[in-house]
Structure formats: structure tokens, C-alpha cells
Structure 1
Amino acid sequence: MSSIISAQPQAAHQLDPHHVPADHDDFDAEGHGDGAAKLPSLAQIKRKLTTKQGWLGDYDFGFLCMPQLPFSLGKGKKKTRPTPFYALEQEMPISLALVCGLQHALAMLAGLITPPIIFANQLGFNASQQNQMVAVSLIASGILSALQMSRFPIPFTNKKYWLGTGLITVVGTSFATLSTASAIFTSLYADGTCPSSVVDGVTVRGNCPEAYGALIGTSCLCSLLEMGLAFVSPKVLKRIFPPVVTGTVILLIGASLVGESGFLNWGGGSGNCHSRPETGFFALCPNINAPRAYQWGDARYIGLGFLSYVTIIIVEFFGSPAMKSASIIMGLLVGCIVAAPLGYTSASSITSAPAITFLWVHTFPLRIHGPSILPMLCVYISLAMEATGDITASSEASRQPVEGRLFDSRVQGGILADGVNGCISGLMMNPPVSIFAQNNGVISITRCANRFAGYLCSAILVLFGVLAKISGVFLAIPAPVLGGVTTFLFSSVAVSGLKVLSLTSFTRRDRMILASALSLGLGNLLVDDWSSYIFTYAGPNAALKGFMNSIIIVLSTPFLIAGIVASLLNALLPADPDSAPTHSDEDEDDELERVEAAKPARRVSSSVDDDIKQA
């Protein structure tokens, strides 16, 4: 996730070559219609399928596929043919739509396969369950992405409320869920809900589908909160969750994932072997029966992970635009190409996988876990904050307005679809999903914001999930290769948090909020067992025990406790009297509208979109 929250720039209309000041109540006054998805006519379908222009168009595929180095050397000021930009509703050649859709799918793959693999390892799932979880993640992402892209008004609301953004806003399992889920699973193993045993002094977790069912069942219930937030004004949400709050949350999400998963896998595995027991089944990583098993932190593991990590950097130097947008997959590919001949991979996950699969082949016992409700509510609040920034970035990259009624309705529809998707995802046996912002970089690189390419991306993801052998291939990736790539991926999440924090003015008040939140968040991250001794109640009152477990889950999740502290202090601390007076976002928007209303309505033509990069 390269850019989870993107701030709305001042005078953002300058980025849009088709912007008309939004002073009217009608969507059409903005020059973009209402943004709803429209079915093509029969004539359009016939022309697309039967003509060369319909299949190939005039897109510069050389630009997309030509490596940057050494082919960019010596060009000087040589003119090149500009690559056309395919707007949201513009007719698009089939071949280009397939290429761009595949690019979006490849950019998402690492983010889609990582969470189910992490969940499966934490819960002791067998190979069949792991394969199905990866397949479900791909299928659910494809279906729910299509729902998010298909913007339509809610009946009987006179187009006041919408479902979906109408942009290429693809979705996948949210990384914000990982840290919270880890704390929930730890709680369920600790209270005896899930089986565990001690082997040679090491606690080994048993297979626990009940814990996964509790996670997704509770998430279905808590998704109602995000649906409710969709009906709150975006301006109000931005005042409640300013950059000092959202940036802190995102920074700690990324940092937590690096420590809990990325770096552990890079060293050989995130399971029980990372404690380096001297004897027993986990004396070596991932276990003593692995084809190439060594102690955690062995130089061979570190080197294999470093190869994947450095491949991502090399692609940035030499790769073509298409390769850059799929750099994470390139890292996985190079790591696997080296690891397979050396014996680090096993084909068992591929041979044991069925030819095809679909949803509900394996199901989990859905239930509401009381102590998990409060933490999951906090997760959905963070998903709403995340969606607001992601939709802003998608609108910018797609040359759509980032202010006015159309933009506000896209934010409202996107948050509502995020909540609805969270509930549907749970019923599909998949954790909550959120918008994947790294695909905004794909829009900028390919110069394609067309919904047709987005729908083909959804179809490709569903196809990858249905072909279960593909899921088996992903499961065969060695842990160090996966760790080298996901460490980079999770670090980019933390960088996105730093980007958001850079938008603050860093007054004394901001520094106080940030320091107070990071005191608990970073402290919890570095000393992860500090909260486990606060509540030790073991009496017969199940309700009291459940409430205490809920508090412990929040306290032991760095981004949750930091986000709560930052939000409370932002609401309660008085303004800094020594800082320069500032205007609220609403005042700035009103002033901008007054200035624009004094000018004649006109279309601004420019090509600054070539400089907009969200990767």
C-alpha cells in the first residue's frame, strides 16, 4: 500500500483539466455528470469487437513496456509521441484494457495473498485451509472491487446518497485488521477457546477455525459502524480525524506489521521457530521437516530475503513503467526463481490443491466474540479514514474533481461501499476489506482511469482465485522471500503515515498530541507484553472478564491505543495561543468557492496530469 492517505491539496481544481467551479447543486454543472456507471450500447459493443480500433487503438505500448535504462539514455530533448489518457467513460481498446487490468491485478497480488497466509500461520491451519483462504481472498477482492467501482444511487434518496465511488478503486483484505486480529487470536488461545500445547518448552498453537470464525463474524457486525459513518459529512470527518490523528495510526500500522510479520518471515518464519528453541519440532525454521531447514536468522535465509528486497529497488532503476507498477511481484518472482532450484520450495501445496475452487468450499463457524467488538469498531473507524484519503488520490489520478458535490458523493459512496463490502466479505469467509491505494500509481503510469480496465482487473482476480493451483503456487513461496517483499510493502505503509503527518503544522499542540499518542503506541510496539499484566481477573463473572479482555486487546494493539489517545486529545486540547491563527477546512472551502464564483465559468485545459504521480 504505497499511499494510504493522500491529502486534498489547496486549489486542487488546478490539477483537473476539465474542472468547472462547483457552485450549483446539479452534478452536471461540474462537467463530469453524476459519475454513475452506464452500460454500453449494442452498437458500441459491435464496433469494439469487430474493428481494429476496438481491439488495438493507438496506445503507445512501447512506453509501457520499454525499460527505463539503458533505453532512456541519449534521448536528450528528442520528442516522443504522447501516450493518450483514457478517461473514466472513454471508449477503450480491448487489448489495452486487458493489459491495464492485468497491471492492476499484479499490483494487488502481494497485498491480497499476504493477510490470509499470516492468518493461517497464526491459527495452525492445514494446507487445504490455507489454499482456500488465499483463493477466497482473490475471489472476494474481484467481486467486491467491481461493486465499489459500480457507482449507483441509493433508491428513494433523490441521488443524495450513493453506493460506490465509480472510480478504479479496487479493494482487498485490510492490513489494519492484521495487528488487531493477532491480539484477538492471542486472547482466544490464552482463555482456552483455542487449543495449544507445550512441546519442549515451546507453546504450540493448534488448529483453531473457531478463532477465525469469531474474527469474521464480529467484523460483519462492526461493519455497521462504517456504514453509519458514510452518512456523516466528509468535512466533519476531516475535522474529527485530522492528519495528526490519521498519520499516527497509519505509521503504527506499518511499523507493527514489519515487526510482527515482515522481519520475522525474512529471518526464516514468523511461527514458533523464531524463538530459536534448542530442541523440538520448531528447532529449525519453518520446522525440522522443511526441505531446507535452518535456525531462525541463518545467513542463507537473510540473503534469500535480501535478494527479493533488492530486486524491488533495482526494478525502480531499470524497469519499464509496467514493471515498476508490479515491482512487488517482480521481487517475489526473482526470489522464487532462485529459491526453487536450491530446494527451498515444496510442490506439496500445488499438487494438493484442487484444479478449481470457489467460495464456501471451507466454512468457519461464524459468531460474535464480545471482547473483539470494541477493537473491531476501532478498525472500521480507521478504514473510513483510510477510504477518504484513497478516494481523494483516485480522483486526482483519474482527473476527476477533488472538491464539490460530485467528490463529496464519491467519498460518501466509497465509505458506504467499504462498510457493505466488509459485511459481505465476512459472509464470504474473508476478513474486512479496504481500498488499495497503490493502484492509483498504476492509473498514473498507464494513463488509464477507465472503468472497463477496472472491471477486467476484477475478472482476472476472480479467475486467479477460482484456479486453485495458482493459490498453491503462492503458498509455496518460501518465508524469507515473502518476508523480504512484505517488509518493503509494510514499510511503505509507514511511509504513507509519515507523508500524512508532514501535512500538519507541528504547533506545540500538534507535537503534544503526537508525542502522547506515540508514547503508548511505540512503547507497546517495542515492549509487546506490557499490557498483559494489567487485568488478571480470573473469577466467575464472564461479562467482566470479556470486558477486560477487550480492553487488553485495544491496549496491546499499537495503532488502536495511539489512535484513541490522539483523537481524544485533538478533541479536548485547546488551540495553541502562540500559533498563528488558522482557518478551518470549511472556511477555506467557502473562501475558495467565493473566489471561483466571481470568475466566469470556464474549462481549464492543461496537461499537468503527466506530472501527477501517486506511486
Structure 2
Amino acid sequence: MREVHSTEYSFKPKDALLGAQMLFVAFGALVLVPLLTGLDANVALFTAGAGTLVFQVITRGRVPVFLASSFAFIAPIIYGVQTWGIPATMCGLFGAGVMYMVISLLVRIFGVGMLRRILPPVVTGPVIMVIGLVLAPVAVHMAMGRTGDGSAWLVPNATAMIIAGVALVTTVFASLLGRGWIKLIPILLGIVAGYTTSLVLDFTGFTAATQAAFDPGQLPNWTGSALIGFEAVAQAPLLAVPNFVFPEWSAEALLFIVPVAIAPAIEHFGDILAIGGISGKDYVKDPGIQRTMLGDGVATSLAATLGGPPNTTYSEVSGAVALTRAFNPAIMTWAAITAIVLAFVGKLGAFLSTIPTPVMGGIMILLFGAITVIGINTLVRAGNDLMLPRNLAIVAIILVVGIGGMTFDLVIVKLGGIGLAGIVGVLLNLVLPCKDCNDPLPDEIAPAGPDHRTDL
């Protein structure tokens, strides 16, 4: 066991099971992103594993972290897929990875202080809030049994509210009252509880009875007499190559999505500080924050070239590291290998596609609200006086531009939403004069970012 607790890289076959357990902790959140955004869950598994391996190579096997689907990009991916399609959206996500690489280079040249000056909490806080608030209607629509845009019924309202309520309550209580491993997998438990409830409602005939009496009003009625069907699972091959999708050039998608990387990029420091505090090593110095940021960027761009969501360090896995005291980074190699192997199980992706929409909706109510609260907490912990004219102007404009859906037509491309809000925030912070503006981040630790889900 001493090899497991050591922070030195030591790849041993006997650690394979422990690595699989680490993937289990991340699994619910990992597959949630592709399920919400329309991407392929098997591709997300593959790119999470491949991204983690790339990260380990770049950081020389120093840091015991696992990289997987980032929640911060859910809103722009949903919008991008609906507006430009998956290939064009992948172009934007590839650019987000390049943004990480550029930031890594700037940190290497100018130091961490440069990033703190360009992206203080007064910018990153409201941008994170916009990410959560823009998604709020999607969560409500899905929890009520509608499509994400609310344009049609997928599940009768009464049935949907029961399922969403069970998934939400389970997730909340698992995070509040859970102990040990239970506290690390609230999202996975919420999905299991909502799915089980759906099966019970189907088996007892409640679903069919409710659907027969359902009045859809003016909206299209796409409801069915059963919530879950296993025909797709039966038809899917046991083993299959993931449905990789390659990027297509889109300037609009690029300019829309790349600014979203502003918030999770700076929160990367919080992730690295957290895992360093758990293992007792200063990863900011060795391998260096510039290397870990570069690893995130390359992993994200790699995922985009194959049709997967952007990668980020997973705080659930960091919590599992703290619980097991398994600091050996090679354990994450086993977690990555397990993810890659599962990506080729065709029936797994087909099974995940059977999860009813209200299950996702119930969890999303908590998730997107939590992202908003994290943005608020970023401002609170920084100690900014938001009533100072400069701070008030920056925060107010970011929120209204992002939530209001403002767009800006540059003739060849159109900027809007979260991306435009991020760009406007950075420009205002650079242009507006700063007199007693109280902007700098606290030196002791960066605020937790939108992917710190263990606090849910």
C-alpha cells in the first residue's frame, strides 16, 4: 500500500481496480454532459481517457488528477449544436483548448500575476453566473417533461415532476448526508434513483394511464405510453467504435465559444491548489501551473478533434484521492484506460440514451443553480465592493449582456451570449480606470470553479 500512498508515479497491474473505482466516481458527471448536449457518451468516455493520458505525459506523471467533461461549456455546446451543428461546434471547442495553451504560454513568460490582472473575480464571477443562469430555462423545461427549448412535450407533466423530484431530492440528500464514497457520487445516485422511478412508473401502469389522460395544450405531443424502451440496447452491438465526429471550420462558433474558456481557465488554479493540498505537494511549482494548463488545453483540443466535450480536472476524483489517500498518479492512468475500454462497449451508449429527460432535468435544476452560486461566491470570497462604480459597471454589463442574449454582428461573424459577455468583461476591466477598485484575487487560494461538484 505504500506505493499507492506515494506521490511518485508507479504503474502496477494490482492498482487497476482502484483506477476503475476512480472512474466510477466521475462517471455520472462525465456522461451527464454529452447526454445534455447531444454529444456521444462513448466518445466522451474515450476523450476523457485519452485526455487524461495526454495530461499525464505533459505534466510528466506528477499530478494525480482525472480529466473529463467540463460543465462550464454545456450552454455554448447546446447553443452551438442547435445553431451550427456538432462539427462546427467542435471547431469552437478546439479553439477553447488553444486558448488554454496561449494562457499557459503567457503564464510561462509573465507569471501568474498577469492572469490575475486580466481575469480578476469581478470578471470571472459574473461570467460563471451567466453560464448557470442562461441554462436555467433548459433545466426547468426538461424537469417539466418538455424539450430543452420548451417547444414540445416529451413526458406528461405529472409524470415528469415525480421523476425529476426523485432525482433532485436524491442528489441533494446524497451530497448533504452521504458519507465516504456516497458523498462523492451524488449525481450518479440521482440518475439511478430517477431511472429506477421511471421503471416503476412504467411497470405499475402509471405512465400509460397518465399519458392517456394528458392534455398537451398548444404544444406538440411527443409523449409515449412508456418512459423507457430497450429496443435500441438490444439492437446495439456489444463492441463498436465510438461515433467520432471531426471539426469543421466555423468562425462564428469559434468566436462564440472561445471566450467561455475565460472562467474555467482561471479556476484551473483552484483545482491544482486543491489536489496539491490533498497530496501535500506543490504542483504549482512542480510540474508548474503552465504545464498543467497546457495539459488541459491539449486534452480539450484533442477531445474536440474527435467530437467530445472539453476536458477539465474533476473535483469528485480529487475527493476520492483524499478519501483513499491514493496519491500515486498511475492510478489515474488505470482510470483513463478503463474509460477508453468502456468507450468501445456499444451497448453502454445505447443504454445511457434510454435515460428519460426528466431525470436529467431534475439534476440540472441543482447543477445550474450551483454554477450560479459559485459565481456569486467567487465575488464574495474576493471581497470586492460591488457598489463601487467600476465594479458595478463591469458586473452589471456582463450579466445583462449574457443573460439578455445580446448579439453583435461583425458582418462575417456574430457574437452573442456567454461569449460576448466574457469578451465585454475582459475589455471593460482593461479599459475602465481603477481607483480603489479592490479587484485582486486573494493570494491564499483561487475560488472554486464551475466544475467543483463535490459541494453539491
- TM-score, normalised to structure 1, is 0.61
Residue 546 (structure 1) aligned with residue 412 (structure 2):
yes
Alignment match of 1:428 (pick from 306, 320, 333)? 306
What secondary structure, in the 3-state scheme, does the structure 2 residue paired with 1:172 have? strand
- CA-to-aligned-CA distance 1:582-615 (integer Å, 9 cap, x gap): 99989x99xxxxxxxxxxxxxxxxxxxxxxx975
Alignment of 1:475-514 (within 5 A): 475-507=353-385, 512-514=390-392
Alignment of 1:326-337 (within 5 A): 326-337=185-196
What secondary structure, in the 3-state scheme, does the structure 2 residue paired with 1:507 have? coil
Alignment match of 1:309 (pick from 158, 168, 185)? 168
Residue 390 (structure 1) aligned with residue 286 (structure 2):
no
Alignment match of 2:101 (pick from 190, 205, 227)? 227
Residue 183 (structure 1) aligned with residue 79 (structure 2):
yes
What secondary structure, in the 3-state scheme, does the structure 1 residue paired with 2:312 have? strand
Alignment of 1:562-601 (within 5 A): 562-577=421-436
Moved more, 307-316 or 508-517: 508-517
The answer for the alignment partner of 2:48 in structure 1 is: 141
The answer for the alignment partner of 1:348 in structure 2 is: 231
User: Shift in Å at residue 400 of structure 1?
Assistant: 1.4
Residues 166/496 of structure 1: CA separation in 2 closer, same or farther (3 Å cut): farther
The answer for the alignment partner of 2:343 in structure 1 is: 465
Count of residue pairs brought into register by the alignment: 420
Which of the pair has more CA radius of gyration? 1
The answer for the alignment partner of 1:16 in structure 2 is: none
Residues 119/223 of structure 1: CA separation in 2 closer, same or farther (3 Å cut): same
- CA-to-aligned-CA distance 1:146-201 (integer Å, 9 cap, x gap): 221344xxxxxxxxxxx46731222223333332233334544xxxxxxxxxxxxx
Residue 268 (structure 1) aligned with residue 142 (structure 2):
no
Cα root mean square deviation, aligned = 3.3
The answer for the alignment partner of 2:33 in structure 1 is: 115
What secondary structure, in the 3-state scheme, does the structure 2 residue paired with 1:575 have? coil
Q: Conserved in 2, the CA contact under 8 Å of 1:355 and 1:469?
A: yes
For 2:186, give the aligned amino acid: S
**Structure 1, unaligned runs of 5 or more:** 1-56, 59-83, 121-129, 152-162, 189-210, 276-281, 287-292, 536-543, 590-612
For 2:68, give the aligned amino acid: G
User: Shift in Å at residue 519 of structure 1?
Assistant: 4.1
What secondary structure, in the 3-state scheme, does the structure 2 residue paired with 1:434 have? strand
Residues 187/308 of structure 1: CA separation in 2 closer, same or farther (3 Å cut): closer
Structure in which a larger fraction of residues adopt helix: 2
Alignment of 1:30-45 (within 5 A): none
Alignment of 1:277-426 (within 5 A): 282=152, 285-286=153-154, 293-294=155-156, 298-316=157-175, 318-343=177-202, 344-359=227-242, 362-364=243-245, 366-401=247-282, 405-406=285-286, 409-426=287-304
Q: Conserved in 2, the CA contact under 8 Å of 1:309 and 1:331?
A: yes
Q: Conserved in 1, the CA contact under 8 Å of 2:43 and 2:343?
A: yes
Q: Conserved in 1, the CA contact under 8 Å of 2:91 and 2:247?
A: yes
Residues 499/402 of structure 1: CA separation in 2 closer, same or farther (3 Å cut): farther
Larger relative CO (CA 8 A, sep 6+): 1 or 2? 2
The answer for the alignment partner of 2:137 in structure 1 is: 259
User: Shift in Å at residue 218 of structure 1?
Assistant: 4.1
How many Å separate the matches in 2 of 1:109 and 1:379?
24
The answer for the alignment partner of 1:440 in structure 2 is: 318
What secondary structure, in the 3-state scheme, does the structure 2 residue paired with 1:342 have? helix
How many Å separate the matches in 2 of 1:324 and 1:418?
26
How many Å separate the matches in 2 of 1:576 and 1:221?
34
Identity %: 21
User: Shift in Å at residue 366 of structure 1?
Assistant: 3.2
Q: Conserved in 1, the CA contact under 8 Å of 2:121 and 2:440?
A: no
User: Shift in Å at residue 480 of structure 1?
Assistant: 0.8
**Structure 2, unaligned runs of 5 or more:** 203-226, 446-452
The answer for the alignment partner of 2:116 in structure 1 is: 238
For 2:183, give the aligned amino acid: K
User: Shift in Å at residue 569 of structure 1?
Assistant: 2.8
What secondary structure, in the 3-state scheme, does the structure 2 residue paired with 1:346 have? coil
